[in-house]
Amino acid sequence: MEAICLKSLGIKNDLRLAARNFNPGGTIIPLGGVEIGGKEKVIIAGPCAVESREQLLETAGEVKKAGAKILRGGAFKPRSSPYSFQGLGIDGLKILQETGSETGLLTVTEVIDTRDVELVSRYVDILQLGSRSMQNFQLLLEVGKLDKPVLLKRGISSTIEEWLLAAEYIMSAGNHKVILCERGIRTFEPLTRNTLDLNAIPLIKKLSHLPVFVDPSHGTGIRDLVPSMGKAALVAGADGLMVEVHGEPSCALSDGHQSLLPEEFAEFMEQLERFQDIFMM
Residue 249 interacts with ligand PEP (CB under 6 A)?
Answer: no
Pick one of 69, 183, 209, 231: the residue that binds ligand PEP (CB under 6 A): 183
DSSP 128: E
Pick one of 153, 176, 193, 205: the residue that binds ligand PEP (CB under 6 A): 153
Which class for 8: exposed (0-12), middle (13-18), buried (19 or more C-beta within 10 A)?
A: exposed
- Nearest distance from residue 28's CB to Mn ion, in Å? 27
- How many chain residues are in contact with ligand PEP, going by CB under 6 A? 9
Nearer to Mn ion, 177 or 246 (CB): 246
Q: Rounded to 10 degrees, what is the CA torsion of 217, 218, 219, 220? A: 70
Residue 74 interacts with ligand PEP (CB under 6 A)?
Answer: yes
- Nearest distance from residue 135's CB to ligand PEP, in Å? 12
Residue 255 interacts with Mn ion (CB under 5 A)?
Answer: yes
Nearer to Mn ion, 183 or 205 (CB): 183
- Nearest distance from residue 157's CB to Mn ion, in Å? 18
Residue 86 interacts with ligand PEP (CB under 6 A)?
Answer: no
Residue 246 interacts with ligand PEP (CB under 6 A)?
Answer: no
Sign of the C-alpha dihedral computed for residues 159, 160, 165 and 171 taken in this order:
positive
Residue 87 interacts with ligand PEP (CB under 6 A)?
Answer: no
Residue 48 interacts with ligand PEP (CB under 6 A)?
Answer: yes
Residue 92 interacts with ligand PEP (CB under 6 A)?
Answer: no
Q: Write the CB contacts of 231 (distance below 8 Å, at least 6 apart in sequence).
A: 271, 272, 275
Give which of 204, 8, 236, 128 is closest to 228, Cα–Cα.
Answer: 236
Q: Using CB distances below 5 to 8 A depending on partner kind, what does residue 130 bind out of Mn ion, ligand PEP, none?
A: ligand PEP
- Nearest distance from residue 110's CB to ligand PEP, in Å? 6
Sign of the C-alpha dihedral computed for residues 13, 170, 128 and 80 taken in this order:
negative
CA angle, residues 222, 224, 229, in degrees to nearest 5: 85
Regarding beta strands 34-36 and 106-110, do their DSSP bridges make them parallel or antiparallel, or are they unpaired? unpaired
Please state, in angstroms and rounded to a whole number, the distance separating the CA atoms of residues 180 and 8.
Answer: 22
Residue 78 contacts residue 112 (beta carbons within 8 Å)? yes
Sign of the C-alpha dihedral computed for residues 150, 245, 187 and 201 taken in this order:
positive
Binding mask 47-76 for Mn ion (x = CB under 5 A): -x----------------------------
Binding mask 122-141 for ligand PEP (x = CB under 6 A): --------xxx---------
Nearer to ligand PEP, 48 or 164 (CB): 48
Residue 73 interacts with ligand PEP (CB under 6 A)?
Answer: no
Please state, in angstroms and rounded to a whole number, the distance separating the CA atoms of residues 172 and 179.
Answer: 15
Range 212-241, binding ligand PEP (CB under 6 A): 215, 218
Please state, in angstroms and rounded to a whole number, the distance separating the CA atoms of residues 23 and 5.
Answer: 14
Chain contacts with ligand PEP (rule: CB under 6 A): 48, 74, 130-132, 153, 183, 215, 218
